[in-house]
Amino acid sequence: MAPSQPELTKGKKRKRDHGSTTTERVKKGTGKLIRFEAEAEGEGEGKTEDADNKDEAPPENPEQTRDLEPIHQKPGHRHEHSHKSSLHPRRQQRDFPKAHTTLPPHVLKKRDELLPIRKSLPIWPHVKSIRAALRENNVLVLTGETGSGKSTQVPQFLLSEPWCTKTIAITQPRRVAAISLARRVAEEMGSLFGNQSPSAKVGYSVRFDNATGPGTRIKFLTEGMLLQEMLRDPEMSQYSAVVVDEVHERSVNVDLILGFLRNLVAGVDKGRKRKTPLKVVVMSATADVQALVQFFGEGLQTSARDVEVETGDSGAARTKSGKPSIDSPESKPDQSTNSKSSNQPTQGHSQVSTCFVEGRQYPVKTVYLPSPTQDWVETSLKIIFQIHYKEPLPGDILVFLTGQDTIEGLEKLINEYAQGMDADVPKLLALPLFAALPQHAQQRIFTPTPPRTRKVILATNIAETSVTVPGVRYVIDCGKSKIKQFRNRLGLESLLVKPISKSAAIQRKGRAGREAAGQCYRLYTEEGFNTMEERTTPEILRCDLSHAILTMKARGADDVLNFPFLDRPPREALEKALLQLLHLSALEETGAISEQGLKMAKLPLTPTLGRVLVEAARPERDCLLDVVDIISALSVENIFLNLVTEERKEEAEAARRELYRREGDHMTLLVTVQRYEEERSDRKAWCEKHFVSHRAMQNVMNVKKQLLQQCSQLKLLTSTDKADSSPSEAKTQAILACILRGFISNTARLMPDGSYKTLMGNQTVSIHPSSVLFGRKTEAIVFSEFVFTGKAWARGVSAVQLDWVSEVIEAIM
């Protein structure tokens, strides 16, 4: 039962990553960071802290970090940079606030407190080489492991550079990260934050929340936000540099950003050349340096060849021989920055620099199972109690499982077994953690552990990247996760339990070594580990590409088959998506983006939902406001609460009956949103009464507001349409026609045997039990979601007439 202890580490004294004197500092620093991450999870975002000093401007001191003694210069003694101002009129134009006043004392104090922590970060000694690298070249690939400090320090290092006259953008995959990093950097710089004051130098931009001002020089934003900006301002004229962080996570958005940036720095975008070059820093945790360097290096070389052809410049000819630097960082651990352009001084800016920064991590011992198991719940249970009896407190346990059901199963078992423990054994506190859990329940992992208690956090993938659980010294990893996979042929998504990659396993293990030395129990054998894929398949290789391609077309990247992909999706997947966009009339027959397609690309919606919206704005449909309500409800998590017990389910059914519509789920959503809005006194109580999620409804209202704004910007909101509180028959038909136009590939007809078969593809589908049409028979259905979980399910279903469907199909084929 007990997993074997690995012989390698047994009895051997574990070596720390650093000496004992620095350990204290490190611990202090780590602790701060974790508290700060935990705060960011909460509401309010601490915006009040500096609020009473709104008018006080911190000193502008661009030189401050240059000599590694940034903060020790007295405020007010700032350097004058008249030469810089005359060289860069843009800076004057932006009128970045100047420091005529002293800093608020508490802001100063905080800044000075943080300085020693900053200085102890592994990235701090690299400041000179990072700056030199970007003076020499326009692209830097920086590899920094967890805890290196790259996300907070790199933008600060670059701010004082002569080329940096505008703003630095730094992207994050998640909202919380963008917001909390911005707050941290503001504190470190002794600046106010966000839009507290026009002089605030650090800000962030995430959906529904833009906290930037005229003085913003460092701007943290989500990847999606940057992409939207890139559609509106193709040259990225407000930025001197773009830092792309967490590239190793390889979201579709990051892949698009990298492709666009490569074209931009290489100047291959037709007619798009910036006056001053854009500096690009690509930051990644794992050592994918070679692929990234090659990716940008090839682009630069192509452009250098173009220059040669155009100008006949003999100097440029030499670029051809200048290969991009492809040294792996591990091979040169003592040489922090590599650049191959030094031997070709005439060829500045045509190469890619690399930099490797070591991480900060305590050692973690790995323990494998002697033989494979299928029963993770049972095995986890044994290991949890084995750790609990054997290892001293403190030291919480983090268990990685695949989903809600296994988590709840294990939680129940732990609680049962824990009751049988002797009174002298410390208590065990099992805490589930998954995204669908209400916010307050998720917050429980951040509350201090009660005395003589060990926390056991039972988590999904959410704890791998999104949430940092404090206090963990033991990790149990089942080696699997649920992965979404798009099937091109069927056009449906499936969620499958699959083995994780080696890099994910290493990431999970690392969660045990954030605060002290730890242990990682892998519920698989060492051989099992060795057979795992090296890295997780990037999302772009396993998702529906229609949205990505629409974005590319909207940005003028017309030749999608030759787009610079870091990983090129199979031709079949690209063609499938192009065809889908053609059917949606987002593209012309020639493949060029249509006027309609451009509007769809600018909406924060999938192409299908975007198409529904655009259709609703047409005069003959004239139902935009109702459709916006439906789309808003479809854009958020399920607005109807999931009930567990049979009794509560029946209660909910009865309470919701007045909302249900026989036309299907879409009209039911419309009525629910309308009734919620009609409720003027207590919407929260209304939600509780109808078993509707209040949080989800608040999100619906946010999305609705944003969509209406964008509709008016895109000149879609010009109709005479009025939302009726009870849509007429004709209105209902118009609404369903719009839904059909977007989801024509998601239609099915009733077969004589009572099953449904899709009209395009002849696939059997079933109406999902969550639908109001579950168990009903109607001649045809249209559905907004098509998922495979053991069986093909249609979710978000409306009843339609077969001849409506045929009409649309004939029109587009």
Partner DNA sequence: GAGCACTGC
The contact set with DNA (CB under 7 A) reads 173-176, 206-207, 222-225, 228, 251, 402-405, 434-436, 460-462, 466, 481-484, 495, 547, 603-606, 635, 638, 642, 754, 766-770, 774-775, 787, 789-791, 793, 795
C-beta of residue 300 within 8 angstroms of C-beta of residue 266 = yes
Closer residue to DNA in complex, CB, 109/777: 777
Query: Based on CB atoms, which residue is closest to DNA, 405 or 588?
Result: 405
List, as one string, the DSSP characters of 588-648.
-TTSPBPHHHHHHHHSSS-HHHHHHHHHHTSTTT--HHHHHHHHHHHHSS-SBPPP-SHHH
Q: By C-beta, is 267 or 538 nearer to DNA?
A: 538
Q: Are 206 and 175 in contact (CB under 8 A)?
A: yes
Q: How far is the CB of 201 from DNA (least distance, A)?
A: 21
Measured distance CA(688)–CA(227) in Å, rounded:
38
The single-letter code of the amino acid at 744 is: I
* Backbone CA torsion sign across 137, 138, 139, 143: positive
The Cα–Cα gap between 326 and 333 comes to 14
Between 9 and 488, name the residue whose CB sits nearer to DNA: 488
In the complex, minimum distance from the CB of residue 712 to DNA, in angstroms, rounded to a whole number: 17
Closer residue to DNA (CB): 68 or 751 = 751
Alpha-carbon gap, residue 587 to 569, rounded angstroms: 20
Q: What dihedral angle (degrees, nearest 10) is formed by the CA atoms of 761, 766, 770, 774?
A: 120
Least distance CB 601 / DNA (angstroms): 9
| Strand partners for 364 | 518
Instruction: State the DSSP H helix or E strand holding residue 764, giving kind and residue range, or none if neither.
Output: strand 764-767
Please name the helix (run of DSSP H) or strand (run of DSSP E) that holds residue 115, with its range, or none: helix 105-119
Q: How far is the CB of 458 from DNA (least distance, A)?
A: 11
Instruction: Tell me how far, at minimum, the Cβ of 554 lies from DNA, in Å.
Output: 12
- CB 55 to DNA: min, Å: 30
CB nearer to DNA: pick between 515 and 665: 665
498 vs 529, 534, 713, CA distance in Å?
13, 14, 44
Least distance (Å) from DNA to the CB of residue 208? 7
CB of 404 to DNA, least distance (A): 3
The distance in angstroms from the start CA to the end CA of the chain is 62
Backbone φ and ψ of 386, nearest 5°: -65, -45
Shortest reach from residue 197's CB to DNA, in Å: 23
Which of residues 53 and 253 has its CB atom nearest to DNA in the complex? 253
Start-end of H helices in 391-540: 404-419, 439-442, 502-510, 526-530
Question: Are 445 and 454 spatial neighbours (Cβ–Cβ below 8 Å)?
Answer: no
Minimum gap (Å) between residue 436 Cβ and DNA: 5
Minimum separation from the CB atom of position 757 to DNA (A): 13
Q: Between 645 and 681, name the residue whose CB sits nearer to DNA.
A: 645
H-helix segments, 286-342: 289-311, 314-317
**Helices 223-232 and 546-554, interaxial angle, to 10°?**
40
- Closer Cβ to DNA, 56 or 629, answer by number: 629
Distance CA 290, CA 297 (A): 10
Residue 758 token pair = 């899709």
Cβ proximity to DNA: between 146 and 404 the closer is 404
Nearer to DNA, 32 or 795 (CB): 795
Q: How far is the CB of 698 from DNA (least distance, A)?
A: 14
* Distance, CA of 378 to CA of 387 (rounded, Å): 15
- Cα–Cα distance measured from residue 374 to residue 224, given in angstroms and rounded to the nearest whole number: 38
727 and 736 in contact (C-beta within 8 Å)?
Answer: no
Pick the closer one to DNA by CB: 484 or 689: 484
Shorter beta-carbon distance to DNA: residue 403 or 761:
403
How many Å apart are CA 804 and CA 111, to the nearest integer? 65
Q: How far is the CB of 39 from DNA (least distance, A)?
A: 16
Q: Give the three-state DSSP class for 279.
A: strand
